[in-house]
């Protein structure tokens, strides 16, 4: 019986469930570069190069291991441009008895796969994606009957289930969470580990050429492309992180510094999401580093929480809430995202930094995504669907299952608090505390309203004031609303007018 194993672009894993148990001499592996996938949003040029080059290297690795790989390139003149069309063509090329595929990460693609049994006269076997630690059924079972879904409680379940950082059934160190130790600003004289960057080989150079030709108008700069495009190189990135950066990951997790895009972050999300690195194996290595005394508990716990907590949690939420989730807009926000999100050209230094490095590296760390670009979009009332599409475009690690809950839910409060208990809105004060950005900004973070004021300051109050009906019931916002109500009317009007005037000038 000949099987066709269809491997999608974010399923580049050697022991993928659909490959397991297949005989090499009786299996065709199909991989396809597609117009549909490369164009459903205007992906950052580096994201395209990363994914296409990683796919080509992975196909080569499978061939070298003895698999028969049928690989369709983007510029193949017969390429239909879509998963279903390429499957139909492949079935004409090969005599196939069974199609095997791991379920897609994105709802959009899974909806196509679900049509295949009716469309093709061949058995279609779909496999759960067991590269995730929590299956979707297990997530649903956990979520069932809970009035609210809190990441922290899900995370504790995952700690118990995996045994990570547990001793005798109790959390290591007597606490589940060490975030109190984790919110330090970084000092400008700190020695940051260098990012491990890789010279493009011949395969990557060919893809760079393809992307330059076909996607010349897409967002982002290709110069300096340095992503790992093989599993071995991704492994080296992980090792560098474990050796040089994990130690300080927790302490400086929320810090931001001018000119420092990576600080103590791992920069491995593109590799986990594409299938090169295994999330549970990474967590076990982080735990081992802690147990060997090489890294402190706050670093190991903080890191493991992001992976077995947040990453698994947002995926569970995505699949529970789709397809309606993408349309949610609790705050009824409808402003266009300003043009500088695609150019980085703004006098607001924090935004210029976060967007500039995004254009350069297709990367920004979590707090930049949440508290700079996300916070600003939230404060100005940007349409959450536009914000979502921007994040899906610009980051090399962006796939809808992980990006959408983080953006629409956590960052834009579009789901009304399903994912986070309050909106991540802040004035300039938070940015000043956690970064060195304000020191070199045209605006003054200490000026609260009017000429020269940091725009985040009046915008923060404008946001709270205009969304009062929807937000004032939140216990976590009681304090800011009390402060707002305690101001005299003239002061409040000064803030509101300052914000209105800024918003009028926004393009
Ligand atoms: P580190 O800070 O070193 O963290 C380690 C790992 O933890 C990451 O590699 C990632 O796998 C995981 N992780 C951390 N936070 C999250 C989170 N909130 N959700 C899921 N995984 C997490 N992450 C993506 O992988 N793809 C996205 O498209 C994406 N979009 C985001 C959009 C917004 C608005 C926000 C606020 C966050 C988004 N994140 C996304 C989460 C997070 O910002 C990135 O995972 C992280 O910045 C990746 O960089 P790193 O590998 O250096 O992470
Ligand atoms: C993101 C992406 C891109 C840009 N290109 C391709 C491609 O050409 N071929 C492919 O198989 N996958 C690609 N992908 C990843 C898919 O979009 C991803 O597999 C789906 O989003 C399902 O999660
Ligand atoms: Fe950003 Fe305001 Fe600081 Fe300028 S002053 S960097 S706009 S927070």
pLDDT digits (tens, 9 = 90+) for 240-277: 999 999 999 988 999 999 999 999 999 999 999 999 99
Q: Is the bond preceding residue 400 a cis peptide, omega within 30 degrees?
A: no
What is the torsional sign of CA 427, 220, 233, 197?
negative
Specify the ligand 1 atom closest to the Cα of 412: 34
Looking at the CA of residue 411, tell me the nearest atom of ligand 1.
Answer: 34
C-beta of 37 in contact with ligand 2 (< 6 A): yes
Q: Which ligand is nearest to the CA of 408?
A: 1
- 417 C-beta neighbours (distance < 10 Å), count: 17
> How much distance in Å is there from the Cα of 277 to the middle of ligand 2?
17
Q: Identify the nearest ligand to the CA of 412 by its number.
A: 1
Token couple for 327: 């349309």
Identify whether the C-beta of residue 399 lies closer than 8 Å to the C-beta of residue 351.
no
Which ligand lies nearest the alpha carbon of 72? 2
If you measure from the C-alpha of residue 440 to the centroid of ligand 3, how many angstroms do you get, rounded to a whole number? 9
CA atoms within 13 A on the CB side of 174: 0
Residue 462: name the closest of 502, 496, 505, 411 by CA.
Answer: 496
pLDDT tens per residue, range 454-480 = 999 999 999 999 999 999 988 889 999
Q: Is 6 helix (H, G, I), strand (E, B) or coil?
A: strand
Q: Whose CA is nearest to atom 4 of ligand 2?
A: 38
pLDDT of 41 strictly over 80: yes
Nearest-CA residue for atom 8 of ligand 3:
428
- Report the pocket of ligand 3 as residue ranges, CB < 6 Å: 348-350, 428, 431-432, 437-438, 441, 443, 445, 454-456
DSSP per residue, 98-128 = EEEEEPPSSHHHHHHHTTHHHH-SSEEEEE-
pLDDT the model gives residue 186 = 82
State the Cα–Cα distance between residues 404 and 70, nearest whole angstrom.
Answer: 32
Pocket test for ligand 3, best of 434, 456, 459 (most atoms within 8 A of CB): 456
Asked if residues 136 and 103 have their Cβ atoms less than 8 Å apart, the reply is no
CA distance 270 to 381: 29
Domains of the chain and any CATH numbers: 3-127 (3.40.50.620), 136-321 (1.25.40.80), 339-504 (1.10.579.10)
- Whether residue 495 has pLDDT greater than 90: yes
Q: In the prediction, which pLDDT does 250 show?
A: 84
Give the ligand 3 atom nearest the CA of 437: 6
Q: What is the mean pLDDT of residues 93-101?
A: 97
**In the prediction, which pLDDT does 189 show?**
56
Whose Cα sits closest to atom 41 in ligand 1? 366
Token pair listed for 367: 């707090």
Give the mean pLDDT of 19-44.
Answer: 97
Length of the chain: 507
Task: State how beta strands 68-72 and 27-32 pair.
Answer: parallel
Q: Tell me, what's the pLDDT at 234?
A: 98
Residue 105 pairs with which residues in a beta bridge? none
Which residue is closest in CA terms to ligand 2's atom 9? 33
Dihedral angle at the C-alpha atoms of 206, 210, 215, 218, nearest 10 degrees? 0
Dist. CA 402 → ligand 2 center (Å): 14
pLDDT, residue 147, reads 84
Q: Are 321 and 193 in contact (CB under 8 A)?
A: no
Contact 362, 50 (CB under 8 A): yes
Q: Are 207 and 52 in contact (CB under 8 A)?
A: yes
Counting from 1 in the atom list of ligand 2, the atom nearest the Cα of 34 is 8
- Phi, psi (5° rounding) for residue 211? -70, -40
Instruction: Give the distance (Å) from ligand 3 centre to CA of residue 349.
Output: 6
Cβ of 222 below 6 Å from ligand 2: no
Which residue's CA is the nearest one to ligand 2's atom 1?
A: 37
Tell me the two tokens of residue 391. Answer: 């994040």
Cα–ligand 1 centroid distance for 478 (angstroms): 29
For CA atoms 170, 172, 177, 181, give the dihedral sign.
positive
pLDDT at 484: 98
List Cβ neighbours of 34 (8 Å cut-off, separation of 6 or more). 74, 79, 81, 82, 83, 86
Nearest partner of 83 among 4, 3, 6, judged by Cα = 6
Tokens encoding 159: 């700690």
Interface predicted TM-score (ipTM): 0.99
Inform me whether the pLDDT recorded for 291 exceeds 90: yes
Q: Which pLDDT belongs to residue 374?
A: 98
Whether residue 420 has its Cβ less than 6 Å from ligand 2: no
For residue 325, the Cα-to-chain-centroid distance in whole angstroms is 17
In this structure, which residue's CA is closest to atom 1 in ligand 3?
350
Residues with CB under 6 A from ligand 1: 265-269, 272-273, 303, 306-307, 310-311, 314, 365-366, 369-370, 374, 391, 395, 397-398, 402-403, 406-407, 410-411
pLDDT tier, 421 (very low <50, low <70, confident <90, very high otherwise): confident
pLDDT at 20: 97
Per-residue DSSP letter, 444: B
How far does CA 484 lie from the centroid of its chain? 34
Within 10 angstroms of residue 103's Cβ, the number of other Cβ atoms is 18
Please tell me the predicted confidence (pLDDT) of residue 180. Answer: 81
Kindly state the tokens that stand for 380: 């100005």
* Minimum-distance ligand 2 atom for the alpha carbon of 47: 4
The continuous run of DSSP H or E covering 226 comes out as none
Q: What is the pLDDT of residue 96?
A: 97
Question: What average pLDDT does the segment 411-416 reach?
Answer: 97
Whether 445 shows a pLDDT value over 60: the answer reads yes
Find, among 285, 2, 4, 12, the residue nearest to 129 by Cα: 12
Phi-psi region of 217 (alpha: psi -120 to 50; beta: other; left: phi over 0): alpha
Render pLDDT for 332-389 as a digit per residue (tens, 0 to 9): 999 999 999 999 999 999 999 999 999 999 999 999 999 999 999 999 999 999 999 9
Gap between the Cα atoms of 191 and 335, Å rounded: 40
pLDDT, tens digit (0-9, with 9 covering 90-100), for 67-86: 999 999 999 999 999 999 99
Percent of the chain scored above 90 by pLDDT? Answer: 93
Give the pLDDT score at 188. Answer: 62
**Model pLDDT, residue 184:** 86
pLDDT for residue 190? 59
Predicted pLDDT at 277: 98
170-171 and 166-167 strand pairing: antiparallel
Ligand number, closest to the Cα atom of 433 = 3
Across-strand partners of 376? Answer: none
Distance CA 507, CA 504 (A): 8
Confidence of residue 145 (pLDDT cuts 50, 70, 90): confident
Q: What is the pLDDT of residue 216?
A: 97
Pocket test for ligand 3, best of 445, 449, 499 (most atoms within 8 A of CB): 445
Tokens of 426: 């802040």
**Would the CB of 9 count as within 6 Å of ligand 2?**
yes
Mutate to test the pocket of ligand 2, among 7, 10, 227, 322 (most ligand atoms within 8 A of CB): 10
Q: How far is CA 58 from CA 8, 206, 369, in A?
A: 11, 15, 30
User: Nearest to residue 193, comparing CAs of 256, 240, 255?
Assistant: 240
What three-state secondary structure class fits 68?
strand
Asked if the model's pLDDT at residue 187 lies above 80, the reply is no
Average pLDDT taken over every residue of the chain: 96
Letter string b/e over residues 211-240, b meaning 16 or more CB atoms within 10 A of that residue's CB: beeebeebbbebeebebbbbbebbeebbeb
d(C-alpha 282, C-alpha 277), whole Å: 7
Give the number of whichever ligand sits closest to the CA of residue 218.
Answer: 2
Cβ neighbours for 168, distance < 8 A, ≥ 6 positions apart:
none
CA 470 to chain centre: 27
CA of 456 to the centre of ligand 3 (A): 7
Q: Locate the ligand 2 atom nearest the alpha carbon of residue 8 and give its number.
A: 11
Ligand 2 touching residue 277 (CB < 6 A): no
């Amino acid at each position: 019986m000949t099987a066709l194993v269809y491997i999608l672009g974010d399923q580049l894993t050697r022991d993928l469930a659909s490959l397991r148990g297949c005989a090499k001499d009786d299996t065709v592996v199909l991989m396809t570069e597609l117009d549909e996938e490369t164009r459903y949003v205007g992906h950052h040029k580096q994201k395209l190069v990363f994914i296409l080059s990683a796919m080509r290297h992975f196909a080569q690795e499978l061939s070298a291991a003895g698999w028969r790989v049928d690989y369709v390139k983007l510029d193949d003149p017969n390429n239909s441009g879509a998963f279903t069309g390429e499957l139909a063509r492949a079935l004409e090329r090969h005599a196939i008895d069974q199609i095997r595929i791991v379920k897609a990460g994105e709802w959009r693609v899974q909806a196509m796969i679900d049509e295949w049994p009716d469309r093709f006269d061949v058995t279609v076997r779909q496999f759960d994606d067991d590269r995730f630690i929590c299956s979707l059924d297990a997530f649903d079972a956990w979520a069932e009957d809970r009035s609210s879904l809190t990441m922290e409680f899900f995370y504790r379940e995952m700690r118990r289930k995996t045994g990570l950082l547990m001793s005798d059934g109790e959390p290591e160190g007597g606490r589940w969470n060490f975030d109190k130790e984790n919110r330090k600003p970084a000092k400008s004289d700190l020695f940051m580990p260098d990012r491990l960057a890789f010279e493009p080989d011949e395969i990557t150079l060919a893809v760079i050429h393809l992307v330059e030709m076909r996607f010349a108008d897409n967002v982002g700069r290709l110069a300096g492309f340095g992503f790992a495009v093989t599993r071995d190189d991704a492994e080296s990135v992980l090792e560098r992180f474990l050796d040089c950066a994990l130690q300080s990951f927790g302490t400086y997790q929320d810090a931001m510094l001018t000119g420092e895009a990576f600080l103590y972050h791992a920069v491995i999300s593109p590799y986990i999401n594409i299938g090169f690195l295994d999330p549970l194996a990474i967590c076990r290595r982080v735990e081992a580093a802690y147990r060997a005394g090489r890294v402190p508990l706050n670093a190991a716990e903080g890191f493991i929480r992001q992976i077995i907590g947040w990453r698994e949690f947002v995926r569970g939420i995505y699949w529970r809430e789709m397809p309606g989730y993408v349309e949610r807009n609790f705050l009824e926000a409808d402003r266009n995202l300003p043009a500088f999100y695609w150019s980085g050209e703004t006098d607001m230094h924090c935004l210029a930094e976060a967007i500039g490095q995004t254009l350069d590296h297709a990367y920004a760390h979590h707090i930049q995504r949440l508290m700079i670009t996300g916070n600003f979009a939230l404060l100005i009332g940007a349409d959450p669907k536009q914000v979502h599409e921007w994040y899906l475009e610009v980051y090399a690690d962006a796939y809808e299952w992980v990006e959408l809950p983080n953006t629409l839910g956590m960052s834009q409060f579009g789901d009304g608090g399903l994912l986070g208990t309050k909106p991540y809105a802040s004035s300039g004060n938070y940015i000043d505390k956690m970064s060195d950005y304000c020191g070199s900004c045209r605006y003054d973070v200490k000026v609260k309203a009017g000429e020269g004021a940091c725009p985040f300051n009046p915008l923060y109050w404008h946001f709270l004031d205009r969304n009062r009906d929807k937000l004032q019931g939140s216990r976590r916002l009681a304090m800011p609303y009390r402060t707002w109500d305690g101001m005299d009317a003239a002061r409040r009007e000064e803030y509101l007018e300052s914000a209105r005037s800024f918003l009028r000038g926004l393009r």
